[in-house]
Structure 1
Amino acid sequence: MRHKYQLILLGSEKAIRSTIVAQIYSKISELRLPEEALKIIDSNNIDEYVGNQPAFAIYLGDTNGDFKDLDITQRLIREGTMILPVFFKAFSKDIPDILSNQNGIEFKDTELDRIANIVLESFELLRNTRKVFISYKRMESSPIAIQLYEALESYHFDVFLDTHSIGKGEPFQDELWHRMTDCDVILVLNTPGFLESHWCKEEFAEAAVKQIGIVQLVWPGHKIEKIDPSSHISYPIQLTQSDFFDGIYNNKDQSKLLTEVVEKIIMEVESVRARNLAARQDNLITEFRNIAEKNGRLITVQPERFLTEDLPNGNHVIYIPTIGVPQSTSCQSAEIKNEIMGYEDVSIRLIYDDLRIRDKWLKHLEWLNDNFKKDIKTLKKQEFEKWLQKK
């Protein structure tokens, strides 16, 4: 994998590190992801840490106050890497002052699942968030598109394929843009006639605007197409005749990729997704925090990768960055995050980018905002400024 999820382990209690890592690997195995998708980093190999790839750190405290790796911790704080403090008796004694404003977890066997889930959630690795959009020209690569659709589904990806994913009577193009908004990676089957299609070109442009990662499968003898440089994450895979069963790559009805080639493609999709999801979420968090700071609002990033604000009247606000289209599961996630914080007087906002989401869904979200009994509402990107100007 070109891009890996970096788990940085700092502090004391090195024996416990292996217990935590084993639990995380167990969760990764449930998702049928390879262990090599996760790179373990500590003070001994910190030079291998890459700043532009997704990272999450766990700091294990010390009951005697013998705090280690403080220089590395300070560096990660400056770079905006999420750090989860884990304490054993008392947070204030076990955790260094530089992490005093972070929300920590007491280490217990019963909390191992939660610690592992926090790591996976920070990387957006839970099953219902691993969304892929297949872009292809039907007359040239339908059997390959269906093959990849089925393979990705078997690896617990939520896959969009136009012939399988759009219901009867739905406006085709509106639904297509809507579903693209909700995906993490676009898998492009770049056959010789692919970019002759107006809509295929539009899909490239849309991916660039939304900063969605692209994996481009280039057919044998076909040139790699240059993609708009504003599309910041794009990787080509040049296919050869030997990558296809019986070397048949140009038959619109019979072409089929070898199993090992399909597995390689799935690994590349996950690799691109690893970097792309973190970048999109970071962009949303950064934009919201910048607008908040400009308007004199103090926003805190929690280890579970959501934002909190303590209001002067004693109430609290939880902001949950939502990539793609907010769903009912986002509301369930919001309730869980409120349980984590233990707030009594709280309002929750799911912040999201509303570009290209279907009007009917936006109206549905607005209706929910007006009628939802609980104080869990959505807040779209174009309204950040207006919301944060309120006092």
Structure 2
Amino acid sequence: MIGNCKYQLIQLGDNVDFFNKLKIELQNKFDELKLNIDFIRFITEDNIHEYSGGEPAYVVYFGGDFIPDSDTLDIIMHQINDGNIILPISAKKLLADIPEILKKYNILEWDNNLNKIVNLILEGFELLRKSRKVFISYKRSESSNVAIQLYELLEQNNFDVFLDTHSVDKGEDFQEELWHRMTDCDVILMLNTDGFLKSEWCNKELEKAHIKRIGIVHLIWPGCDFEDFAYLAESIQLKTNDFEKPFYSSDLNNRLKEDILPKIVNMIEGTRARNLASRQDSIITDFTQAASNNSISVQLQYQRYISQELSSGKTIVYIPTVGIPQSINCHSSEKLLNKIGKKEVKSIRLIYDDLSIRDYWLDHLDWLNDYLEIKTIKKINFNRWFVTKQYDK
């Protein structure tokens, strides 16, 4: 079930004390973020069979006195091939405890700072974003009250929620703003009432979500044909006793009972975990494929950026950005320079999928490229970037 989807932390190395302390620090940080630690599956070599390639994963390799055997190296290679972020931690001078296969990655020298490592892991899982965005799609004439109820519930659970009646300013191009906001969200919560799929706009929102690979959670009203959604894993079939009053499809004042609400929140969080990893992976795949098509070598690093080493010895950093690039992305990217520890960074570029972003915002980003140190590259221009060797100009 998607509601049980996990963030996977793969622990390689034999420092049991380190990994026990790391788990405690993660628990503390999850408590601060008001997240459930059960969303993380802790995986070692002993239970590596529990690893799922369809769920977000982060690999921590701790060196020290551990000597990796062929099984460990096979696991590492599998994780590299799956495109997962790998954080190699060296406990010795000269990185002698890091296997050759990981020496091309940025290596973190162990300095007893667990908080730094926890933050890297949370950033890798996109859990440190200030906003965790949900878009509620519904038919006003059938589920307005439940939509407002869920809006309030999700805001209480630290989500940034888009609801058309609460989130679109007067005078905005309503439908264009909906598509724009949708592309920037992590999950779409669809309230599938009797007339939902009969609505032209609800169907278009469903279509747009699939094109953008945005995760969807479907709440299916009693009496609606579940078979219409059987191909969707992220769905909850509501029963009449899930509502506060005896269910009538035309009763707009009805609300959901309290005991069904945690299940909805958990499913949204689980879907969000998978979705962010999938969308970021899609950007990374498209960008690295464009590089490969032009015989350019790039490398995915543990801080969630792609590096390209130039013949001059300088490095270009590419940061895959889910949703709409904002000024906060640029600010975070500048801070990343300190984490990278490389003085010879030629430039930083945010790479993003431009589909369904409003023209005025795309024009704004293009304009900013003439003025800001941190610049952007649209998905539509990935190939041209390498063909015309823009990186070397």
TM-score w.r.t. length of structure 1 = 0.94
Match of 2:32 in 1: 30
Match of 2:226 in 1: 224
Match of 2:67 in 1: 66
CA drift at 1:228:
11
Match of 1:281 in 2: 280
Q: Tell me the distance in 1 between the aligned counterparts of 2:229 and 2:34.
A: 31
User: AA paired with 1:83?
Assistant: I
CA drift at 1:198:
0.8
What's the % identity of the aligned pairs?
Answer: 48
User: AA paired with 1:348?
Assistant: I
Match of 2:298 in 1: 299
What are structure 1's unaligned runs of at least 5 residues? Answer: none
Write out aligned runs for 1:91-102 (5 A).
92-102=95-105
Cα gap change, 1:40/1:151 in structure 2, threshold over 3 Å: closer, same or farther?
same
Contact 1:248 1:256 in 2 (8 A): no
CA drift at 1:72:
1.9
Contact 1:127 1:157 in 2 (8 A): no
Match of 1:383 in 2: 381
Contact 1:65 1:93 in 2 (8 A): no
Contact 1:248 1:254 in 2 (8 A): no
Counterpart secondary structure, 1:86: strand
Match of 1:247 in 2: 246
Contact 2:61 2:88 in 1 (8 A): yes
Q: Tell me the distance in 2 between the aligned counterparts of 1:210 and 1:175.
A: 16
Structure 1 stretches of at least 4 aligned residues deviating more than 4 Å after TM superposition:
none
Q: Residue by residue, what CA displacement relative to the aligned partner does 1:74-133 show, whole Å, maximum 9, x if unpaired? A: 322232222111122325212111111111212233x32221111112111224242111
Q: Tell me the distance in 2 between the aligned counterparts of 1:141 and 1:84.
A: 46
TM-score w.r.t. length of structure 2 = 0.93
Match of 1:176 in 2: 178
Cα gap change, 1:389/1:245 in structure 2, threshold over 3 Å: closer, same or farther?
same
Cα gap change, 1:348/1:144 in structure 2, threshold over 3 Å: closer, same or farther?
same
Match of 1:358 in 2: 358
User: AA paired with 1:361?
Assistant: W
Match of 1:122 in 2: 124
Q: Tell me the distance in 2 between the aligned counterparts of 1:127 and 1:350.
A: 16
CA drift at 1:235:
1.7
CA RMSD between the two structures: 1.8
Q: Which moved more, 1:31-40 or 1:121-130?
A: 121-130
User: AA paired with 2:388?
Assistant: K
Counterpart secondary structure, 1:293: helix
CA drift at 1:390:
3.2
CA drift at 1:56:
0.7
Contact 2:14 2:66 in 1 (8 A): no
Matched, 1:328 2:330: no
CA drift at 1:220:
0.9
Q: Tell me the distance in 2 between the aligned counterparts of 1:128 and 1:205.
A: 28
